[in-house]
Structure 1
Amino acid sequence: MGATGSKLEKALGDQFPEGERYFGLENFGNTCYCNSVLQALYFCVPFRDQLLEYYSRTKSSGEPEENLLTCLADLFSQINSQKKKTGVIAPKRFVQRVKKQNELFRSYMHQDAHEFLNFLLNELVETLEKEAKSGRTASGNLKPAEKKENGVANGTAADQDHPLTWVHKIFQGFLTNETRCLRCETITARDEKFLDLSLDIEQNSSITSCLRNFSSTETLNAEDKFFCDKCCSLQEAQKRMKIKTPPRILALHLKRFKYIEQLGRYKKLSYRVVFPLELKLCNTTDDAPGSESEYSLFAVVVHVGSGPNHGHYVSLVKSHSHWLFFDDENVEIIDETYVQTFFGSTQEYSNNTDHGYILFYECLDAKTT
């Protein structure tokens, strides 16, 4: 990595961002699923900033009790405080903690990067909620003003049992599930929280069409009729799901692994799905705050391989004005147009098995506020 690191520094030259660090992550035997997600999260600036703040607060009061959050904060701080601009970090303590807390990740088998992202964000939320509920963090008792400062609040979106954490503030959005009775026209709406959205994909499609399909109207009839409270009986109905509150960071998971009944197993869909560098949400409710917001792509977790049970993960990240390719220990600068090679294939069987799997978009409006 020394040669790779110096090559990267040479390639960036005077354009190397002030205070930024580009470090590869050591692989501990099929831990690429973890490394690729960690790189995407490290270059999610609001997430990194909050995590480093958390690290500073906890460290100033002595050694906190180890959990996944403290291990991740320690890892990010380790990268951020390196004297060198490039190199390799071994996230050993963090990986050990992941395996300790979740037996799913203990084997050396190929793991799913999306499952890992879900597990990680939910674990961080749980830890922060516990600290908020007990009215304290590792740095001591928190007054209401300090809670606000530390990104913990109680409001309409979160009750006393589930305080709103800084992870929520970054990743959480709200969906509204609307069901319209076709007999009396009454609309029943139910809100749901999400930290990421999983999208069905089709051949030669785009993220916009995937989002549109996600919110398409579905008719409930025959055995799937809806019980209408107003009619007091089962009725035919139409339902749809729309984004009510868009998140600051929009994480989109492309459902590339599909169970094929005839085969009796999961198969990877290599479909070509275009994901633009700039995205405008097409499936928000009419009254959604920031429904006109534009999002900018800053990270892509890529699955390399022809099937769901084997393969490799790499990540592409945008840092300042350039794109970087992270493959475990190796880091390279890439041209923006190279991102397009990960859209997928127009043919079912292709030599290109490198496909975008998880996309991370940041709201441009949130960036300027």
Structure 2
Amino acid sequence: MEILMTVRKIASICTMGANASALEKEIGPEQFPVNEHYFGLVNFGNTCYCNSVLQALYFCRPFREKVLAYKVSDERRFQNIRRVVFVYIQGRDAQQIGSHPHFKPSQTFLFPVSIRMRVKKLPMILALHLKRFKYMDQLHRYTKLSYRVVFPLELRLFNTSGDATNPDRMYDLVAVVVHCGSGPNRGHYITIVKSHGFWLLFDDDIVEKIDAQAIEEFYGLTSDISKNSESGYILFYQSRD
């Protein structure tokens, strides 16, 4: 058993090395970044989501640098590592049931309410989690929302508070975790990342170079929300300053 496990590990390392070598040849030695290597992660069984998120976080350079600079002997320093901030920004119209203190308890009224969220401090790494799964009462289960969401390569948030410290901060898209499939309980996860000016697709242990135009394939569908699709799920943006 130990010999078999050792052989599998060696085979995995050789596979990753072969993929990396092929990618370096495709990019070209003159354009390949110095001291940078691109390796996939082996899927040990339903670990594609973990693999995809880890790849996305690794290519968020501020996050990577903070983790690499961490020293185990200094526990306080670990607490100060810049966390990836997940911001869920949503504006919606709603109706709320309420009652006036001068009215009887049996008298309730509906009145329109506008609910919104504003950002006071914009983070270095901005992660936006798209709502791709929704519980459907008529089906008694969750279903995937494959509708088309065009996420920009450059982003500026306009729903900041009046006292925001850096309201003009600009962001660049650096990674996207993509869900492939027709439902939340089936499918596969991959990730696309931007590194040194070009885009890479990580599918577990497979790494490929893609064109920037290929990102449009992960926007979602324009019609049926229940069809199989490759849809952007988590977007990672990095600040320019």
Q: TM class, shorter-chain normalised?
A: 0.7 to 0.9
User: Which residue is 2:121 aligned to?
Assistant: 245
**What secondary structure is seen at the aligned counterpart in 1 of 2:46?**
coil
Q: Distance in 2 between matches of 1:337 and 1:350?
A: 25
**What secondary structure is seen at the aligned counterpart in 1 of 2:82?**
helix
- Is residue 290 from structure 1 mapped to residue 205 from structure 2 by the alignment? no
1:197 is aligned with what amino acid? V
Deviation at 1:218, TM superposition (A): 5.0
Against the structure 1 CA distance between its residues 255 and 238, is the aligned structure 2 distance closer, same or farther, given a 3 Å change threshold? closer
User: Which residue is 1:273 aligned to?
Assistant: 149
Q: Distance in 1 between matches of 2:226 and 2:117?
A: 34
Q: Distance in 1 between matches of 2:158 and 2:42?
A: 39
- 1:197 equivalent among 79, 87, 95: 87
1:9 is aligned with what amino acid? E
Q: Distance in 2 between matches of 1:330 and 1:315?
A: 11
User: Which residue is 1:50 aligned to?
Assistant: 66
Tell me the alpha carbon deviations over residues 198-225 of structure 1, each in whole angstroms, 9 at most, x when there is no partner. Answer: 4xxxxxxxxxxxx5xx1356564x24x6
- Is residue 19 from structure 1 mapped to residue 28 from structure 2 by the alignment? no
| Contact 1:216/1:241 (8 A) holds in 2 | no
Q: Distance in 1 between matches of 2:43 and 2:100?
A: 50
Greater than 3 Å deviation, 4+ residue runs = 215-220, 234-239, 349-352
Q: Distance in 1 between matches of 2:146 and 2:35?
A: 38
TM-score by length of 2: 0.82
| Contact 2:179/2:187 (8 A) holds in 1 | yes
Q: Distance in 1 between matches of 2:212 and 2:142?
A: 32
User: Which residue is 1:322 aligned to?
Assistant: 198
Against the structure 1 CA distance between its residues 283 and 34, is the aligned structure 2 distance closer, same or farther, given a 3 Å change threshold? same
RMSD of aligned residue pairs (Cα, Å) = 2.5
1:332-351 equivalences in 2 (<5 Å): 332-348=208-224
2:177 is aligned with what amino acid? V
Q: Distance in 2 between matches of 1:262 and 1:271?
A: 19
Against the structure 1 CA distance between its residues 166 and 342, is the aligned structure 2 distance closer, same or farther, given a 3 Å change threshold? same
User: Which residue is 1:8 aligned to?
Assistant: 23
**What secondary structure is seen at the aligned counterpart in 1 of 2:233?**
strand
1:21-100 equivalences in 2 (<5 Å): 21-54=37-70, 57-58=71-72
Deviation at 1:244, TM superposition (A): 1.2
Q: Distance in 2 between matches of 1:329 and 1:292?
A: 38
| Contact 2:149/2:219 (8 A) holds in 1 | yes
TM-score by length of 1: 0.54
Tell me the alpha carbon deviations over residues 55-108 of structure 1, each in whole angstroms, 9 at most, x when there is no partner. Answer: xx33xx6xxxxxxxxxxxxxxxxxxxxxxxxxxxxxxxxxxxxxxxxxxxxxxx
Give the number of aligned pairs: 217
Gap runs ≥5 in structure 1:
62-135, 138-146, 153-164, 172-194, 199-210, 228-233
User: Which residue is 1:88 aligned to?
Assistant: none
Deviation at 1:287, TM superposition (A): 2.1
Q: Which has the higher contact order (CA 8 A, sep 6+)?
A: 2
- Is residue 331 from structure 1 mapped to residue 221 from structure 2 by the alignment? no
Against the structure 1 CA distance between its residues 349 and 257, is the aligned structure 2 distance closer, same or farther, given a 3 Å change threshold? closer
Q: Percent identity?
A: 53
| Contact 1:299/1:359 (8 A) holds in 2 | yes
